[in-house]
């Protein structure tokens, strides 16, 4: 599982010219799933992102998480995060999880952020062609990777 975390002043997503999700201060998340990802990666990712301290406190230090900053999340599914361009000029998406398997994980991820961590979450439309607009704040952009943990 990969998540591009962008701290934003505002962000929105439109499908067919209609805004389907919008936030003010918070995170724009681009979320991709790989073969082998499971609910374990979803839970780790949600916790890490909910608690990620990249918002300034009163002293200007990055000490606040999205909840403490009064922010929200706009979460966008993004299978192209697993585009492999190591061979040729056309990306290969063979590492990306099939949409039918990725959508329940995406839904679980957003549910976890909302219900467990109390974050207001907006989303795009899974699998749709979307137009995403944002005002990156900082800029602060983090690529977070959550790989399946091997068991004994």
pLDDT at 77 > cutoff 50: yes
Quick check: is 33 catalytic? Answer: no
Strands (DSSP E) contained in 49-94 are 55-56, 62-64, 72-77
Average pLDDT over residues 43-62: 97
pLDDT above 90 covers a percentage of the chain that reads: 95
3-state secondary structure of 30: strand
Which residues lie across from 121 on neighbouring strands?
73
Quick check: is 79 catalytic? Answer: yes
Quick check: is 78 catalytic? Answer: yes
Average pLDDT over residues 2-13: 98
Residue 82's pLDDT is: 96
Which residues lie across from 15 on neighbouring strands?
18
Of 80, 94, 116, 145, which residue is the catalytic one?
A: 80
Count the Cβ atoms, other than its own, within 10 Å of residue 19.
Answer: 12
Of 33, 55, 78, 123, which residue is the catalytic one?
A: 78
DSSP secondary structure letter of residue 145 = E
Of 33, 79, 106, 146, which residue is the catalytic one?
A: 79
Average pLDDT over residues 2-29: 98
Beta strand 2-15 pairing with 131-145: antiparallel
pLDDT at 152 > cutoff 50: no
Residue 151's pLDDT is: 58
Q: Model pTM?
A: 0.95
Distance CA(77)–CA(67), nearest Å, equals 22
Residue 119's pLDDT is: 98
End-to-end CA distance of the chain: give it in Å, rounded: 21
Average pLDDT over residues 48-68: 97
Distance CA(92)–CA(90), nearest Å, equals 7
């Amino acid at each position: 599982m990969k998540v591009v975390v962008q701290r934003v002043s505002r962000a929105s997503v439109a499908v067919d010219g209609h805004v389907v999700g919008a936030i003010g201060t918070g995170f724009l998340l681009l979320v991709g799933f790989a073969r082998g990802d499971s609910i374990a990666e979803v839970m780790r990712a949600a916790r890490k992102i909910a608690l990620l301290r990249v918002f300034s406190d009163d002293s200007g230090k990055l000490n606040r998480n999205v909840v403490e900053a009064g922010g929200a999340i706009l979460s966008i599914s993004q299978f192209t995060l697993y585009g492999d361009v190591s061979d040729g000029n056309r990306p290969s998406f063979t590492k990306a999880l099939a949409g039918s398997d990725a959508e329940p994980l995406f839904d679980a991820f957003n549910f976890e952020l909302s219900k467990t961590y109390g974050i207001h979450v907006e989303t795009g439309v899974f699998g749709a062609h979307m137009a995403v607009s944002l005002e990156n704040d900082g800029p602060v952009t983090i690529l977070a990777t959550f790989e399946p943990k091997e068991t004994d």
